[in-house]
Amino acid sequence: MIAINIGPLALPVPPLLLLFSVVVGLIVASLVAKKQQSPVTDQLLTVLLVSLLFGRIVFVLRFIQSYGSFWQMLDIRDRGFDFSASILAAMIMLMLQIKRYPKQRKALLSGALSAVALFAVLITVVTAGRQQAQLPDIALSQLDGTSINLQQSKGRLTVVNLWATWCPPCRREMPVLAKAEQNNPDINFVLINQREPADTVTQFLTQMSLQFSQVLLDTTGQVPQQFGAFGLPVTLYFDQQGQLVDSHMGEVSDASLAAAINKLRSSSP
């Protein structure tokens, strides 16, 4: 599952798991600190915020060429964070907090370890489910009316984007995907429009002056149902065996797409 539906909202799973883990960690820390009559919520939140900030800074520096402005660097909606940098920053901040507040050591460690352990377990479960997901055996129509099976993409690293012309984030990320396809000829890009006729899609691509090697029509919404991909846009990354390696719900940026493609390449033997 890539997203969870809450009424009309479709929320990506990993951030929700992180939020849930952090809340549990804060509760554990508060319970331990209560016995010592020494609150630790502020200290743990400081550790979290500093680690996320450092992870974002490192990510931006790694993909600095992908950002066109300072405001794009501040836009965290692409969820571009360097995980290793965030973990390192969290460890350093936690040690500094323990040194500064030695009486809260037990509570700080209990909260931090609880949050990390829970998130690790939950994300492992999600990742295990993702590893079982593959390019579905589904035939879709191209814009010229001919049919193509998604499993024909096996043998190549593949990026599948689920989109629609009425979706503002989809429209904004189209030029990003077109640029990425041009700059990464070794990657197979497949854009699957959701529930719209061919003439609507063709007109949109013409107006936007966009060209893609593969644009397919999913008139019944079969593909998102296969992956629990509620909401648009969704970008799926498949290795050469057709297994799902990564996914991103929401608008991709130049930087987040470049990072995902790097991860996809590293997954290839």
DSSP labels for 72-127?
HHH-GGG----HHHHHHHHHHHHHHHHHH-GGGHHHHHHHHHHHHHHHHHHHHHHH
Residues 179 and 219 in one domain: yes
The answer to whether residues 108 and 71 belong to one domain is yes
pLDDT tens digits, one per residue of 169-218? 999 999 999 999 999 999 999 999 999 999 999 999 999 999 999 999 99
- Whether pTM > 0.75 for this model: the answer is yes
- Whether 187 and 123 map to the same domain: the answer is no
Within-domain flag for 5: no
**In terms of domains, do 83 and 155 share one?**
no
Q: From start to end of 195-268, where are the E strands? A: 215-218, 234-238, 244-249
Q: How far apart are CA 158 and CA 204, in angstroms?
A: 23
Which of 129, 149, 181 delimits the end of a domain? 129
Helix, strand, or coil (residue 63): coil
Q: How many domains does the chain have?
A: 2
Contact 212, 204 (CB under 8 A): no
Dihedral of CA atoms 135, 141, 142, 147 in degrees, nearest 10, equals 80
pLDDT band at 9 (very low <50, low <70, confident <90, very high): low
Query: What mean pLDDT is predicted for residues 115-140?
Result: 86
Strands 139-142 vs 187-194: parallel, antiparallel or unpaired: unpaired
Distance of alpha carbon 83 from alpha carbon 117, whole angstroms:
15
Give the per-residue pLDDT at 212: 96
Q: Indicate the pLDDT class of residue 15, thresholds 50, 70 and 90.
A: confident
Are residue 258 and residue 143 in the same domain, yes or no?
Answer: yes
Q: What is the pLDDT of residue 124?
A: 87
Q: What is the extent of the structural domain holding 124?
A: 11-129
